[in-house]
Amino acid sequence: MLYGALEAGGTKMVCAVGTEDGKLSGREIIPTTLPEETIPRILDYFRGKEIAALGVASFGPIDPDPASPTYGRITSTPKPGWSDFDLLAPFRESLQVPIGFDTDVNASLLGEICFGDAKGLQDAVYITIGTGIGGGVMSGGKLLHGMLHPELGHMMIRPHPSDRYEGKCPYHHCCLEGMAAGPALGERCGIKGELIPADDPVWALEAYYIGQAIVNLILTLSPRRIILGGGVMHREGLFPMIRSEVRKQLNGYIRTPLLNDLEHYITPASLSDDQGILGCIRLAIKAKEEA
């Protein structure tokens, strides 16, 4: 049985089909332009593939509450043409299969838990750090939603005493995204993040802010694993620096066997950047089961 997967990003749409065991048999990347240009190309990809269900994970903010009148919509995004757009409606009408829907970061977490190194965990957090910062949470075996969905990237952060940067976020300035996302790195240094030398002092600040966010998550959510993905985290040298900051900032307050082994507690994404699309496969499977 084949399942469809759509990882809807602000820059690109990744379409794929796969099986229940996570084997992908096809993929296409479509640039995210305007809905009237992008959606027909996605529909063309899925037509005729005889998928049993579709899993959709989207950039946001979105409305993921099935009981809400605006369920399935992208809500207040600054992406031109996509604000208040009903993302699911074209797929319901054209494909007529069950559809699972969630945030892109929740799907990435789901992919790691179903197919990656976090397999079988009931309590975990996934954070993506790239052009923006977002996070997905699983608690007690359930993906966390609530009033809308957690916006971990916009948690407020205490600036480092030596840091005079005001922050890039237009809403909060010194939230996690404003201080530590790729555009903030680039603005601080005047060059793209991937070109910043490994010995630049900005990486110590980056580790400080990501470490502070992780400490907040440990203290509030008590996860059993924290997974870091996204383009910024491809710089592997950040991981030991972040773990050192977490240890320093926790200051011995919480003592558990998991925190004694931060190398296996704070880990990189394990699915070669396929965690999101594989999470969509799992969303599709769940939608089929519940139909």
Tell me if residue 126 falls in helix, strand or coil.
Answer: strand
Other Cβ atoms closer than 10 A to 266: 23
Alpha carbon distance 173, 186 (integer Å): 15
> The domain at 3-107+273-290 falls in which architecture?
2-Layer Sandwich (3.30)
Q: What are the residue ranges spanned by the domains of the chain?
A: 3-107+273-290, 119-268
Write down the pLDDT at residue 60. Answer: 86
Write down the pLDDT at residue 151. Answer: 92
- Residues paired with 226 in a beta bridge: 125, 266
For 228-250, give one letter per residue: b (16+ CB within 10 A) or e: bbbebbebeebbebbbebbeeeb
Per-run averaged pLDDT (10 residues), the chain, 291 residues: 96 96 94 97 96 96 93 90 96 97 97 96 97 95 90 96 94 95 95 92 97 98 97 94 98 96 98 97 98 89
240 touches 233 (CB < 8 A): no
Tell me if residue 24 falls in helix, strand or coil.
Answer: strand
Backbone angles phi, psi at 183, to 5 degrees: -60, -35
Write down the pLDDT at residue 208. Answer: 98
Q: Is the peptide bond before 61 cis (omega within 30 degrees of 0)?
A: yes
Does 3-107+273-290 match 119-268 in CATH topology? yes
pTM: 0.94
Question: Which CATH number applies to 119-268?
Answer: 3.30.420.40
Alpha carbon distance 278, 235 (integer Å): 23
Beta strands of 59-162 (E only): which ranges? 73-74, 85-86, 99-103, 124-129, 133-139, 142-143
Write down the pLDDT at residue 213. Answer: 98
Q: Mention every residue, 6+ apart, whose C-beta is less than 8 A from residue 130.
A: 181, 182, 230, 231, 232
